[in-house]
Amino acid sequence: MHDLSNRERLTASGVVMDFAGLRALDDVSLSLGQHEIVGLIGPNGSGKTTLVNVLSGALAPTAGTVTIDGEKVTGLAPRKISHAGLVRTFQTVRLFGTLSVYENVQLGALGAGIRRSQAAAKAHELLELFGIDHLRDVLGDSLSYGQKRIVEILRAIATDCNYLLLDEPAAGLNEEESDRLLGQLSNIPDQFGCGILIIDHDMNLIMRLCQRLHVLNQGKTIAEGTPEQVRANPTVVEAYLGSQAAPEAGAS
């Protein structure tokens, strides 16, 4: 199956995910282009990570279809899905603690089959571009939490992916680090042709970073639209935003 209209998109359609008696995702459809940033938000347990697990091949959905660039990839192993251009990060940091920042980023490229000389150049370019060249020889274990988050994202980008799924990259970051992350992420789609699906509970970050939002509640899509539309949606306010600090108030 090759659907031309989805040639440069990641799509999920009608995804259902059942865990013994619990419907964690119920008919969820979503799409991500290579030049946009889409936010996936919703209360704890609403199914956000489960959807990322389905998209990235960690879970085979009970029903529904996932496509990458028009090709059906539903239920393929994570390794195959990353070859198709999709990379994800996890809710907890997963870096090689005994390798340097440079080696961690280079490994991302090598793991994706990029030649050694090119992988080295790519790692160098990314560290410079994201302003962490001075950390190149620091071991993963010695980094601050915020630095680890960035290195993890650079390792993903180093694979030359077209779709990057970030599961709570700002969790545990202070306001300044989260602001810096916002600046660094916002250029990725245009600079690398890599679309971003980002999950985060930091509404200040999400509302400023994303062009579109997708809101889940109890496994169901309850709203989709621009940050302005979603913020003004009474169903979303009741299910989720009402319990969050209002970004305008400057609370975090």
Ligand X SMILES: Nc1ncnc2c1ncn2[C@@H]1O[C@H](COP(=O)(O)OP(=O)(O)OP(=O)(O)O)[C@@H](O)[C@H]1O
Shortest Cβ 203–ligand X spacing (Å)? 13
Interface residue with ligand X among 6, 11, 34, 49 (CB under 6 A) is 49
Q: Which does 24 bind (CB under 5 to 8 A by kind): Mg ion, ligand X, none?
A: ligand X
Shortest Cβ 164–ligand X spacing (Å)? 17
User: Could you please report the per-residue DSSP string of 214-239?
Assistant: EEEETTEEEEEE-HHHHHT-HHHHHH
Interface residue with ligand X among 44, 92, 98, 117 (CB under 6 A) is 44
Q: Which does 47 bind (CB under 5 to 8 A by kind): ligand X, Mg ion, none?
A: ligand X
Strand 212-217 relative to strand 63-68, pairing: unpaired
Q: According to the binding rule CB under 6 A, does residue 50 interact with ligand X?
A: yes
Where are the strands (E) in 57-155, listed by range?
Answer: 63-68, 71-72, 86-88
94 phi and psi, to 5 degrees?
A: -130, 90
Q: Which does 61 bind (CB under 5 to 8 A by kind): ligand X, Mg ion, none?
A: none
Alpha-carbon gap, residue 170 to 199, rounded angstroms: 9
Interface residue with ligand X among 10, 32, 38, 47 (CB under 6 A) is 47
Q: Which does 57 bind (CB under 5 to 8 A by kind): ligand X, Mg ion, none?
A: none
Alpha-carbon gap, residue 15 to 26, rounded angstroms: 7
Alpha-carbon gap, residue 4 to 148, rounded angstroms: 38
Note the residues at the interface with ligand X (CB under 6 A): 19, 22, 24, 42, 44-50
